[in-house]
Amino acid sequence: MDRIFGIDLGTTNSVIAYTDPTAATEVIAGQDGNRIVPSVVYFGKDGSQLVGMSARQRAIIEPERVAMLFKRGMGEKSFLDNEAPFVVDGKTWSPEELSASVLKKLALMAQERFGEPVRKVVITVPAYFGDNERAATKSAGEIAGLEVVHIVNEPTAAAIAHGLDNASAGRILVFDLGGGTFDVTVMEVASDGSMKVLATGGDRRLGGMDFDNLILAKMIATARQGGLDVETEPWARQDAYGKAEALKKELSTLETASTSLTGSGRPLPFELTRAQFEKLIRDKVTATEDTTLYTLELAGLQPSDIGTVLMVGGSSRIPAFQKMLERVCGRPPLFSRNLDEDVARGAAMLAAKEGQDLDPRTALARMPKPVDVCSHGLGITALNDEMELRNFIMINAQTPVPVDDVADTFNTVDEGQNEVEIKLNEGDEEDLEFVKQLGKSTGSFGRGVPKGYPIKVTMSYDRAGMIEVNAYDGQTGTHMCKLKVPRPGNLSKAQVANAAALYRNTKVS
């Protein structure tokens, strides 16, 4: 039996974990003892790749050979702020390929730990990821030579790592503040333990790095007053940035932290109090509060409707965010010591449920699997009563997958019409401007039919993401046309296969 591993493929950091048949979970460390791997890739001149902390350190000296934050572009061509492609030595690297490098590194760590190659994984994604980004994440796994058994929502994995199952049925708010992104998800746990996402919100450009930069700006200003320039060389700035992050982390437990800045050949002490830091990040705390309240509003809930508030992501250790959430929700948030490992732990637990070795006597084995849902609505283009073309939703967003043969009846508009065109759309709006057409097909009645003649349309959506639409003559029941559309990823099958072949021969360490 292949072991199935759980992976948190994060924007700033990634983690791999394994849950054994007794339901015990281990977060796997690399040879350096670190369990948290920065999602950073360095391209060596010899074609090899370095992933993790060593790659992050290379960013100081050779920033043009280092890729980071590529998860922000998952499913798109570029992840850089200026939309330019990321090119090294003449080759463009897609977010999927860069993510594959991180996955390969994590798989290597697990291989070293267990002495056998990793083949199967469960990977987590943010709840707001659409089908395109989910498909892209799957492609990343395939490029790395892995079978992605399942894609799971990060807040669901975090909730499972905290044991929030049917015993804690009710509404959960998951506040996830990482290094580069902020997500808030409101979920409902049913009495059978199944979890449903009610609303998601967040900011893909807010996280720990912003706080580091705010400290850095203060450091630079203070140094300047002391006659010291810490920006003479790029490395000096990077060095100060590292110190800013270290200070920030210390201030999560200490009231005062200090360091020594270097530049112009001499040191200068720099001290920061927690109160000063909280003043620096006040706007950011307010922004997360506004987003939290807005997401609750989207879910149609009041803060008092939330039974459990759960914090994940490394930056949730900052007391200012904990205080804010407690004030807003009226109860202290739950969080673990290993905030940054929770998502991977939950992914591993869900991975264990996908395998067949889990001891049936464990609580984990008895816990129902979370349901997959359709992230966006699926509909058909048709005329409304005002004779305007609209998207008629047949499968609503958040409907549990698989969906079998939802049926609806439409009518012809022209006298003597002998054909109909079925257009399938993805999106939650009626207005066609805001939806994406996924495919179309034409069916014939084989004769002219009167105006208002019925056409029966059925739609199904399976767990592999395949949508099937069928149209039937509404009176005779004769089949008219079929449309089968896989939810699209960015890369074609051939591109994934080519990239996978390249990756087989790439040395990643």
Is the sign of the CA dihedral 385, 391, 395, 399 positive or negative?
negative
| Helix 319-329 × helix 282-298 angle, to 10° | 40
27 neighbors 37 (Cβ within 8 angstroms): no
Does residue 259 touch ligand AMP according to CB under 6 A?
A: no
**176 is a catalytic site residue:** yes
CA distance 241 to 224: 16
Between CA 319 and CA 308 the distance in angstroms is 18
- Considering the rule CB under 6 A, would residue 124 count as an interface residue with ligand AMP? no
**Choices 99-107, 158-166, 207-215, 416-424 (CB under 6 A): range interacting with ligand AMP:** 207-215
3 state DSSP class of 148 = strand
- Count Cβ atoms within 10 A of the Cβ of residue 46 and give its class: 0-12 exposed, 13-18 middle, 19 or more buried: exposed
245 near ligand AMP, judged by CB under 6 A: yes
Count of residues touching ligand AMP (by CB under 6 A): 18
For 242, the token pair is: 């590292």
With respect to ligand AMP, which residue has the nearer C-beta, 35 or 376? 35
Q: Is 314 a residue that touches ligand AMP (CB under 6 A)?
A: yes
- Contact between 381 and ligand AMP per CB under 6 A: no
Instruction: Write down the least CB distance from residue 212 to ligand AMP, Å.
Output: 7
Among 52, 193, 313, 346, binds ligand AMP (CB under 6 A): 313
Among 95, 155, 208, 474, binds ligand AMP (CB under 6 A): 208
Q: Cα–Cα distance between 184 and 303 in angstroms, integer?
A: 13
DSSP string, 427-446: SS-SSGGGSEEEEEEEEEEE
Q: Which of 94, 101, 132, 252 binds ligand AMP (CB under 6 A)?
A: 252
Q: What is the 3-state secondary structure (H, E, C) of 322-380?
A: HHHHHHHHCCCCECCCCHHHHHHHHHHHHHHHHCCCCCCCCHHHHCCCCCEECCCCEEE
Does the annotation count 8 as an active-site position? yes
Kindly tell me which of 324 and 382 has the beta carbon lying closer to ligand AMP: 324
Active site residue 271: no
Output 181 or 308, the one with its CB closest to ligand AMP. 181
400-401 and 378-383 as β-strands: parallel, antiparallel, unpaired?
A: unpaired
Residue 179 binding ligand AMP, by CB under 6 A = yes
Point out the catalytic residue in the list 131, 142, 165, 176. Answer: 176
13 is an interface residue for ligand AMP by CB under 6 A: yes
Of 154, 341, 372, 473, the active-site residue reads: 154
Q: Which residues bind ligand AMP (CB under 6 A)?
A: 10, 12-13, 178-179, 207-209, 245, 248-249, 252, 313-315, 317-318, 340
Q: Known catalytic residues?
A: 8, 71, 154, 176
